[in-house]
Structure 1
Amino acid sequence: MITQSPLDRREAPPRLPVLRGQSACPLASRHARVAAKLASAQREVLVVSPLSGTPGDPVATFRRIDHANLRRGVRYRVLFPDHARTLAEPARRLGHLARAGAEVRTMPAVPIEALVVDRAVAVLPSGDDLAVLQLPSVVETVTELVERLWPSAVPVIPGDPPQAGGPAARDRELLTLLADGRTDESAAAALGVSVRTVRRMVSSLMNRLGARSRFQAGVKAADRGWLSEGASR
Structure 2
Amino acid sequence: MNIGMLLEAATSEVVVMSSLSCDRHDPISSARLAQHVRPGVRYRVLVPDWARVMPVLGALTLADAIVRTVPHVPSDALVVDRHTVLVPADQARLAVFQLPAVVTTTLELFEQIWPRAVPLFTSDLPDSAELTVRQREILTLLWEGHTDESAAARLEISVRTVRRSVAEIMSRLGARSRFQAGAKAADRGWLLADAS
TM class by smaller structure? 0.5 to 0.7
Identify the residue that residue 69 of structure 1 maps to in structure 2: 37
Cα deviation, residue 62, structure 1: 7.0
Is the CA contact 1:99–1:158 (under 8 Å) kept in the aligned structure 2?
no
Cα separation, partners in 2 of 1:123 and 1:98, compared to 1, 3 Å: same
Is the CA contact 2:48–2:73 (under 8 Å) kept in the aligned structure 1?
yes
Whether 2:67 is the aligned partner of 1:104: answer: yes
Identify the residue that residue 48 of structure 1 maps to in structure 2: 17
Identify the residue that residue 161 of structure 2 maps to in structure 1: none
Runs of 5+ consecutive residues of structure 1 not aligned to the other structure:
1-29, 161-174, 187-205, 222-233
Distance 2:18 2:71 in 1: 12
**RMSD, aligned CA:** 3.2
Is the CA contact 1:179–1:218 (under 8 Å) kept in the aligned structure 2?
no
Identify the residue that residue 57 of structure 1 maps to in structure 2: 26
Is the CA contact 1:106–1:156 (under 8 Å) kept in the aligned structure 2?
yes
Distance 1:178 1:144 in 2: 36
Q: How does 1:113-128 map to 2 (within 5 A)?
A: 113-128=76-91
Provide Cα deviations, 1:147-186, integer angstroms capped at 9, x if missing partner. 11111111111769xxxxxxxxxxxxxx898332298xx9
The counterpart of 1:82, out of the listed 38, 41, 49, is 49
Cα separation, partners in 2 of 1:35 and 1:83, compared to 1, 3 Å: same
Cα separation, partners in 2 of 1:43 and 1:114, compared to 1, 3 Å: same
Cα deviation, residue 78, structure 1: 0.3
Identify the residue that residue 34 of structure 1 maps to in structure 2: 3
Is the CA contact 2:34–2:63 (under 8 Å) kept in the aligned structure 1?
no
Provide Cα deviations, 1:4-31, integer angstroms capped at 9, x if missing partner. xxxxxxxxxxxxxxxxxxxxxxxxxx4x
Cα separation, partners in 2 of 1:125 and 1:68, compared to 1, 3 Å: closer
Cα deviation, residue 47, structure 1: 1.0
Cα separation, partners in 2 of 1:141 and 1:36, compared to 1, 3 Å: same
Distance 2:173 2:90 in 1: 33
Distance 1:83 1:54 in 2: 17
Q: Percent same amino acid at aligned positions? A: 44
Distance 2:141 2:23 in 1: 37
Q: How does 1:1-233 map to 2 (within 5 A)?
A: 30=1, 33-54=2-23, 57-60=26-29, 63=32, 66-70=34-38, 72-86=39-53, 91-128=54-91, 129-157=93-121, 178-181=143-146, 211=173, 215=178, 216-218=180-182
Q: Relative CO higher for 1 or 2, CA cutoff 8 Å, sep ≥ 6?
A: 1
| Matched length | 146
Cα separation, partners in 2 of 1:123 and 1:56, compared to 1, 3 Å: farther
Q: Classify the secondary structure of the residue corresponding to 2:37.
A: helix
AA at the equivalent of 2:4: A
Cα deviation, residue 140, structure 1: 1.1
Is the CA contact 1:107–1:153 (under 8 Å) kept in the aligned structure 2?
yes
Cα deviation, residue 93, structure 1: 1.5
Cα deviation, residue 100, structure 1: 1.4
Cα separation, partners in 2 of 1:176 and 1:51, compared to 1, 3 Å: farther
Distance 2:143 2:31 in 1: 42
AA at the equivalent of 1:59: I
